[in-house]
Amino acid sequence: MEMKSGAREHFTKGVELYVNRQYDDALDELKKALATEPGNTVINIYISKANAQLKKASGASNLTDEQAEKVKKLYLAGLKQYMSGDLKGAPAPWKEATAINPGDIKVLKQIEKAQAELTELQKSGIRYRQGFPVKQKNINKTGDIRWKNEKNIHNGYAGG
């Protein structure tokens, strides 16, 4: 099959990811390939297959369009909190999403990941403050924390 070199690279990587059941990443690569080779039937077939596998894995086939959209928004809200360092807050929207779609593997894995990271911080003697893991040795007896930014030393509450 004839393909431009950029499309071929993305397509090959996308198929490899698909075979390894990494459907999200496969879709990203396949969409890049399709952008270079618009209308390519083979690429479109793999995109459809990857979408079907994602839908199957998430259990979304039993959801209405509104429910699926709500789960997606909740997933992204939790992801935004997680990426900003809010390990305690991120699971809340994900748990709300699992109330709508209990079989969503992607959401369940994210909850597990955030909880595992919090547990690991606790085991390491690190107290957690939203967006800022704090080593125990930097906390004084009153619970204040000292840290350096670019120019100054600040005091703040470590939370917990």
Q: Averaged in consecutive runs of 10 residues, what is the pLDDT profile of the chain (160 residues)?
A: 81 92 90 90 88 73 83 92 86 91 84 87 72 45 40 37
pLDDT for the residue 130: 59
CA distance linking residue 110 with residue 113, whole number of Å:
5
SS3 content of the chain, % helix, strand, coil (to 5): 65, 10, 25
Per cent of the chain over pLDDT 70 is: 75
Residue 42 makes CB contacts below 8 A (sequence gap 6+) with: 1, 11
Q: What is the dihedral of CA 21, 22, 24, 25, to 10 degrees?
A: -140
**Rounded distance, CA 45 to CA 136, Å?**
53
pLDDT at res. 137: 44
> How confident is the model at residue 145, as a pLDDT?
39
At residue 13, the pLDDT reads 94
Ordered by start, the domain boundaries in the chain are: 5-58, 63-157
What pLDDT was estimated at residue 94? 92
CA 9 to chain centre: 25
Q: What is the pLDDT of residue 118?
A: 84
Residue 17 C-beta-side C-alpha neighbours within 13 Å: 22
Instruction: Tell me the two tokens of residue 99.
Output: 């109330």
